């Protein structure tokens, strides 16, 4: 009896040791990303860059509230401004010396989506002379100690309210990890050792960011479906935003930044309405399970490659347009007109009247100022 127990114990011990060995082996493999301690503040001022989106606004549960030109848009804009102001108040209360704001939504509004007339005057929107992508063209990184993101949403394919990543149906996969827009920003800033310390959005996004234990997160609504959410009381949400933004700055020295291990493997997985299946079978292109995967030396290269693939995946929308035209009453006429237009362009090209490869004509816009996503 004793012997059996001893042998049993040895078997358990051997199994345990080989399990540990496997653990050790896994630990020596290169991790897909790293979580790192922030460097102490060097210049003595705490400057935060605040990003805002619109799908994760506390008072918003209709898509129309997030698109410029819709009758519902002003209510979205007003609620957005209230959310931003609550977070700005908290950041300053926590010890921030400056809060700069950038637009990460791009509703089509020629003005920033946040209402500047009602924005806390201590917060300054960033204006630049040239157009920039706030996710990747980070302005003056050396000035910032942290980034905060508000009114964000969950990633493509997840059950969040208006879940998407950059574009509908586009799932960003870097080093095997499917990421949301908050993570796109976090890994982008991580290149410079700068952490994201605050985020707000729905309950689904909260789950996707749980591994960032240092991040102060405010759940503003519960996603019921892609098009509906149960809104939480605004007073309660704004009070929580202010308190957690304050805490985020107070605990800044204990925050972490995330970084993808380079070189990277990047990919775009598509689902309806995005579709880049046209690339399947092209020699040199790795297409499998609705996913194009490619190697990238840097995060920037991965980012740019994915954005280009997203343009290809726009074919999914074109297909839909064709399908709609084919069944609509005016469809045949419009298709005829498009063919005639194409023929005319072709004749003009042949006649040397224009060059399809020429760089697009830049309109002289002397006073144009850029504030983030367009």
38/185 with CB nearer Zn ion = 185
- Cβ–Cβ < 8 Å for 222, 66: no
94/160 with CB nearer Zn ion = 160
Query: With contacts defined by CB under 5 A, how many residues of the chain interact with Zn ion?
Result: 2
Pattern 164-203, Zn ion, x by CB under 5 A: -----------------x----------------------
Hey, what's the torsion of the CAs at 331, 337, 342, 346, to 10 degrees?
160
- Cβ–Cβ < 8 Å for 112, 125: yes
* Pair type for strands 177-179 and 170-174: antiparallel
How many Å apart are CA 152 and CA 208, to the nearest integer? 12
The DSSP-derived string for 124-152 is EE--BSS---TTTS-TTGGG-SEEEEES-
| Residue 166 beta carbon to Zn ion: minimum distance, rounded to whole angstroms | 7
83/181 with CB nearer Zn ion = 181
| Residue 56 beta carbon to Zn ion: minimum distance, rounded to whole angstroms | 8
Q: Which stretch binds Zn ion (CB under 5 A): 39-47, 52-60, 212-220, 319-327?
A: 52-60
β-sheet bridge partners, residue 123: 99
| Residue 154 beta carbon to Zn ion: minimum distance, rounded to whole angstroms | 10
Q: Which stretch binds Zn ion (CB under 5 A): 49-57, 87-95, 129-137, 197-205?
A: 49-57
Contact call for residue 53 and Zn ion (CB under 5 A): yes
Residue nearest to Zn ion (CB): 53
| Residue 165 beta carbon to Zn ion: minimum distance, rounded to whole angstroms | 8
Tokens 């749980």 belong to: 210
Q: How many CB atoms lie within 10 A of CB 140?
A: 10
With vertex at residue 146, the alpha carbon angle to CA 141 and CA 148, rounded to the nearest 5 degrees, is: 115
| Residue 219 beta carbon to Zn ion: minimum distance, rounded to whole angstroms | 17
54/215 with CB nearer Zn ion = 54
Residues that bind Zn ion (CB under 5 A): 53, 181
């Amino acid at each position: 009896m004793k012997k059996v127990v001893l042998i049993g114990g040895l078997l358990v011990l051997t199994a345990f040791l080989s399990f540990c060995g496997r653990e050790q082996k896994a630990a020596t493999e290169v991790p897909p990303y790293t979580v790192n301690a922030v460097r102490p503040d060097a210049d003595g001022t705490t400057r935060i860059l605040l990003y805002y989106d619109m799908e994760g606004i506390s008072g918003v549960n209709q898509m129309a509230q997030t698109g410029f030109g819709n009758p519902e848009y002003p209510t979205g804009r007003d609620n957005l401004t209230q959310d931003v102001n609550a977070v700005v108040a908290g950041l300053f209360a926590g010890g921030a010396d400056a809060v700069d704001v950038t637009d990460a939504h791009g509703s089509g509004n020629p003005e920033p989506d946040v209402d500047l007339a009602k924005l806390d005057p201590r917060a300054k929107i960033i204006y630049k002379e040239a157009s920039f992508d706030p996710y990747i063209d980070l302005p003056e990184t050396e000035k910032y100690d942290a980034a905060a993101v508000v009114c964000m949403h969950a990633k493509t394919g997840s059950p969040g309210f208006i879940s998407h990543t950059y574009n509908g149906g586009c799932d960003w996969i870097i080093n095997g990890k499917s990421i949301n827009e908050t993570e796109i920003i976090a890994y982008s800033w991580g290149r410079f050792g700068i952490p994201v310390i605050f985020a707000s959005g729905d309950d689904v996004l909260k789950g996707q960011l749980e591994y960032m234990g240092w991040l102060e997160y405010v759940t503003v609504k519960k996603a019921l479906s892609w098009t509906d959410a149960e809104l939480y009381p605004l007073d309660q949400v704004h009070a929580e935003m202010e308190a957690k933004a304050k805490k985020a700055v107070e605990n800044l020295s204990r925050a972490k930044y995330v970084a993808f291990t380079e070189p990277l493997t990047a990919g775009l997985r598509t689902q309806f309405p995005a579709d880049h299946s046209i690339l399947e079978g092209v020699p040199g292109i790795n297409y499998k399970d609705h996913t194009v995967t490619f190697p990238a030396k840097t995060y920037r290269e991965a980012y740019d490659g994915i954005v280009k693939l997203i343009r290809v995946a726009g074919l999914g929308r074109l297909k839909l347009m064709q399908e709609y035209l084919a069944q609509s009453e005016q469809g045949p006429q419009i298709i005829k007109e498009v063919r005639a237009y194409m023929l005319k362009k072709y004749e003009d090209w042949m006649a040397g009247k224009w060059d399809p490869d020429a760089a697009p004509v830049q309109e002289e816009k002397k006073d144009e100022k850029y504030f983030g996503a367009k």
